[in-house]
Chains A and B, each alone.
Chain A
Amino acid sequence: MRNKRYDGAGRGDLLLWIVGAFLLYLLWDSGFFTAAAWSDFNRRFYQNFVKDNRYMMLVDGLKSTIFMTSGATVIGVIVGLILSVIRVAHKGGVHIPVLNKLAETYITVLRGTPAMVQLLIWNFTIFASARDLNTQYIAILAFGLNSGAYVAEIFRGGIESIDAGQMEAARSLGLTYGSSMRHVILPQALRNVVPMLFNEFIALLKETSIAGYIGIDDLTRAGQNIQALTLEHSQPLVMVAIIYLIMVMVLSKLVKKLEQWLSRGRRG
């Protein structure tokens, strides 16, 4: 379920991919490019997206998807940062065995169970009696805490990639462990992990498509709602897929740009 890295990032032209997806869909859906098939496609397109402003259902779904993804990413980064610092500090000689064990357990449990199951547990078990709470907030919490476990490992990798000499130098200059971490190690580590954090955001964007299970009308669910309205199976889903794809491709392009910008002025 979890796709940590979008492999198509930056490969090929954006426009080509969109056109390609559309052409492939047309082939699949209508068989041939006959006038009858085309007008049928148009009629169904009108039914699915134009009539009664049904495209607004997709727009609202998209808003919900982006809202959840953004919220979850913020929680994920905060939780991930805390967890990774705990784990690295423990390894670096700071005596926090209990905290470290907790962090380890957290990461093991949250990475070892499907996000879907976690989402259901959050909604129907932990927040069973929270009825006035907007379900989207529960989803944000569930996705965010789940993401945190993954982000923790990203951060840990980033911190551990900083040469040990940096910490030694900082400490020998009289900085405490905490301020060496804060002022010397983390800024460098952050620079290394920012692209990966964006990839995490992209992974989350796709993962929120399971939010429909707890009754949130996200982008995927919006497509299903249109299906239920028009009883038309393929067009709404393909449209949803195309919207996801465009978002992911645009974000991937941004990550590439960001990577270039971050590595400016670096030697080698």
Chain B
Amino acid sequence: MKIKKVFALLFVLVLCVGVCSADEAKLKSPSDLKTEKLAAQRGTVGQFLAEDLLGDKKALLLTTYEKYVDAIAALRQGKVRAVIMDEMPAKRFLSEVEGLAIMNEPLSEENYAIGFRKGNTELVSAVNKALAEMKADGTMDRIFAKYLDGDYSAVKPEDIDFNKGAKGGKLFVGTEAGFAPYELKVGTGFIGIDVEMCAYIAKKLDRELVIENMNFDALPMAVSTNKVDMICAGITVTDERKENMDFSDNYVVGAKQVAVVKSDDYEK
């Protein structure tokens, strides 16, 4: 009985491997993706761009995943032909995973900002002031420089000052810590551009930073129900999102949205 079951399982596995091989024309540019199976992280701009690309075929061809790792795994296993995502996290995937390529031509360029509950103007202006100061005194450049080369194994969560015990109370920030270099969970703490930026903002506001790590598609809900004060997760400013939340000034301008494909499936 037991042996039979094991054999049945093995048989299914072999079948799976056998099915997954078919020759297709190579991809050249994002316009080739209009009739292909695509993946994106749920709730991200990558999803919206993929939907635009696919048009009315999106229900058939687009798969959205909770995490980028899942989308990339689907790509590597041939379940989809491309993943639409932000360039910087995509570059990190390329440096760690073999056999992937980023299409030269970006799909769009977006701006990142911090999101707030609609009408929370007081906090928005306070954060904008802190952001302006960061840009002026070079802190912002320093933070970006720390992460830009793609190797941040030296960055330790303990080194980021969360301003514990600040008099002004706590500053709850929602994020999705699977979006390196912007936010990443390491051990029990967090690192990343957004995290360090929020730590600086918290200090300026004399508040203690508390990071709430949740799924990306839960972030708008969390900020609108006041579960967190603000959400900072490489969030692209879009008109649709502006209807439901307020945004700070942009802290990243021109972040490229790119298509990640298998390198042997891509013809430059």
Contact = CB atoms under 8 A, between A and B. Distances in A.
Contacts of B2: 12
B212 A224 contact: no
Contact of B187 (A52, A132, A135): A52
Main secondary structure of the interface of A (DSSP, over half): helix
Contacts, number: 84
Nearest to B179: A228
A215 B187 contact: no
A229 interface: yes
Q: Residue among A120, A135, A228 with the most chain B CB within 10 A?
A: A228
Given A27-B13, A227-B67, A213 B215 contact: yes
Interface residues of A, number: 34
Contacts of B225: 124-125, 128-129
Interface string A119-133: 010011100110110
A57 B188 contact: yes
Contacts of B70: 233
Contacts of B73: 233-234
Contact of B184 (A24, A128, A212, A229): A229
A131 B67 contact: no
B214 interface: yes
B13 A224 contact: no
B218 A225 contact: no
B177 A231 contact: no
B218 A132 contact: no
B177 A225 contact: yes
A230 B215 CA distance: 18
B209 to A, nearest CB: 13
A126 to B, nearest CB: 10
A231 B93 contact: yes
Interface in A17-37: 20, 24, 27-28
B93 A228 contact: no
B122 interface: no
B97 to A, nearest CB: 6
A124 B221 contact: yes
Contacts of A225: 177-178, 185
Given A131-B172, A131-B228, A52 B215 contact: no
A215 B185 CA distance: 12
B214 A214 contact: yes
A213 B42 CA distance: 13
Interface in A73-108: none
A60 interface: yes
Contact of B13 (A28, A129, A213, A234): A28
Contacts of B68: 228
Given A124-B218, A131-B228, A231-B69, A57 B9 contact: no
Contacts of B96: 230-231
A124 B177 contact: no
Interface in A140-195: none
Contacts of B170: 131-132
Contacts of A217: 185, 213
Interface of B: 2, 6, 9-10, 13, 67-70, 72-73, 76, 92-93, 96-97, 170, 172, 177-178, 180, 184-188, 212-215, 218, 221-222, 225-228
